[in-house]
Amino acid sequence: MGVSDNMPQSYIKKILDARVYDVAIESPVDEARLLSKRLNNTVLLKREDLQPVFSFKLRGAYNKMVNLSEAERRQGVVAASAGNHAQGLALSALKLGVKATIVMPKTTPQIKVDAVRSRGGKVVLHGDTYDEASAYAQKLVQEKGMVYVHPYDDPDVIAGQGTVGMEILRQVTGPLDAVFVPVGGGGLAAGVAAYIKYVRPDVRVIAVEPEDAACLKVALEKQRRVRLKEVGIFADGVAVAQIGKETFRILRKTVDEVVTANTDEICAAIKDIFDDTRSIAEPAGALALAGLKKYVEQHGCEGQTLLAIDSGANTNFDRLRYISERTEIGEQREAILSVTIPEQPGSFKKFCAALGKRNITEFNYRYGDDRDAQIFVGVAVAAGGQGRTEVVESLRKLDYRVEDMTDNEMAKLHIRHMVGGHRPSAVANELLYRFEFPERPGALMNFLTRLGNRWNISLFHYRNHGAAYGRVLVGLQADTSERKAVEAFLGKLAYPFHEETDNLAYQQFLS
């Protein structure tokens, strides 16, 4: 899709004249070599995560600020932002000696709140979404006469973000088949698309949105701006319910295609960026790369040069645990299965043997009755999910009842953490032990083999978290009079273990 005749060429001049380099850097374009090899395409990353505020937002905020009159600057500025625009505005205001008030949703990651305050910005936390914060910011404009600096729907902001597109075409002088741009309100995408489509109309511009915040996709389908009823906030930097008015005017004429990505795909893209750059992108920062990977899969691209804008790196450290958990499924490297096995000694070991050399990533079980055992198991498969069907079919041929839950959202979010419960009355006696063993291929199978069949396993929990040591919680049906015999036997396993039968957490929730 090319630029129509009425696309305002004034944007090109505004982008060329944009004042951004007083505070921003010309970010590099790096090749993602590992991912390029895996996808059979040259994959490039525009590293906006390396900006002083770890996001491209600095460009638009500063360009807006330098275009304000002295009278407007004296009034002070106010903005609503999930974080990155806020940091950009705070740093710009500090540079220009202007007071800045930032209204942020209460759901904003703490790292972004702290970053704004550290740069002299006054933070007001209000509402749970960007739209609620924006409404409150507008209220401050009316009450105190401050100048509102929109995070995306402003010509000067759009022009500032458009310098990213200008740099891309200056830095990538050879073949460039497509540029992938993350979209929230559309400021970055509008600026980049306006410039690229004017200078190199042959380059495809692909907008990428989260599946649960795809306001541009809906607007293009309906040919009008639509407000989404609900917006997912995992990728908080693009959690916008309605595409901007000015940005939509540009994007509807310049974007070739919209690709959406789900949470697991975004998490997988965060890992891809880490593997190639040793940097950690925020969810919105990795969104464009998630879209690039999906585009390659859908179109069967090979031998092309594809560029994704890594738009930011502002994420809370504690969120990495969730990201890591979802990455395996986002890369389709893990199959999540529910399997029924006989409730009898040796069943675990036999089941592990049925899986062969496949790596078990998770194993959760709680005794239910004396007939069948229901286990929740994770199995490593090849990237792209290759081998997932083979695993299921091979187990069914051995007469195991198997349900594939890899795409079951509740299973991934909740059930995997809830398998268990109180000890059934049928388990008269249970001793609980916590083990550690070196984490290596076949380690779990070796553990079960050495544990043997002497005592029935009534509880089992294992999850491979990528640590050097695997950790297992095991319940054994054994009378307390057998405790010495059990511990003498366990001592021969040469694995560190701790009895947890009297642990208060076990007594209250599992016993």
The string of DSSP letters for 275-338 reads HHHS----HHHHHHHHHHHHHHHHHT--S-EEEEEE-B----GGGHHHHHHHHHHHTT-EEEEE
* pLDDT value at residue 363: 83
Q: Which burial class, exposed, middle or buried, applies to 168 when counting CB atoms under 10 A from its CB (0-12, 13-18, 19+)?
A: buried
Query: Between 445 and 137, whose confidence is greater?
Result: 137
Residue 385 pLDDT grade (very low, low, confident, very high; cuts 50, 70, 90): low
Question: For residue 230, what pLDDT is reported?
Answer: 86
Are the beta carbons of 332 and 424 closer than 8 angstroms? no
| CA nearest neighbour of 288 among 400, 419, 364, 178 | 178
Residue 498 corresponds to which tokens in the numbers above? 């701790």
User: In angstroms, rounded to a whole number, what is the distance separating the alpha carbons of residues 354 and 377?
Assistant: 13
Q: For 200, list phi and psi in degrees, rounded to 5.
A: -135, 80
Per-residue pLDDT at 190:
97
The span from the CA of 38 to the CA of 46, in Å, is 19
Tell me, what's the pLDDT at 180? 98
Q: Rounded mean pLDDT of 415-433?
A: 74
Q: What pLDDT does 50 receive? A: 97
Tokens (6 digits) for 208: 């990428």
Q: How confident is the model at residue 464 (pLDDT cuts 50, 70, 90)?
A: low
Which element (helix H / strand E) includes 263? helix 263-277
Mean pLDDT, range 256-278, rounded to an integer: 95
Q: Which of 208-222, 231-245, 461-475 has the highest mean pLDDT?
A: 208-222
- Cα 475 to Cα 430: distance, rounded to the nearest angstrom: 6
Residue 409 pLDDT exceeds 90: no
pLDDT score of 384: 62
pTM for the structure as a whole: 0.79
pLDDT at 7 over 60: no
33-86, pLDDT tens digit by residue?
999 999 999 999 999 999 999 999 999 999 999 999 999 999 999 998 877 888
Q: Enter the tokens of residue 172.
A: 């990538």
- Residues above pLDDT 70, as percent of the chain: 92
Residues with a catalytic annotation lie at 57, 311
pLDDT at 408: 82
Domains and CATH numbers, the chain: 10-50+155-327 (3.40.50.1100), 57-148 (3.40.50.1100), 332-509 (3.40.1020.10)
> Quick one: pLDDT at residue 421?
67
Which residues touch 500 (CB under 8 Å, ≥6 apart)? 432, 433, 434, 473, 506
pLDDT band per the 50, 70, 90 thresholds, residue 329: low
Strand partners, 438: 469
Amino acid at the residue 74:
R
- Give the integer Cα–Cα distance in Å for 81 and 169: 29
Q: Please, what is the average pLDDT of the chain?
A: 87
pLDDT band at 4 (very low <50, low <70, confident <90, very high): very low
451 sits in which H/E element: helix 443-451
Least confident of 298-302, 348-352, 382-386, 477-481: 382-386
Q: What is the structure's pLDDT at 1?
A: 44
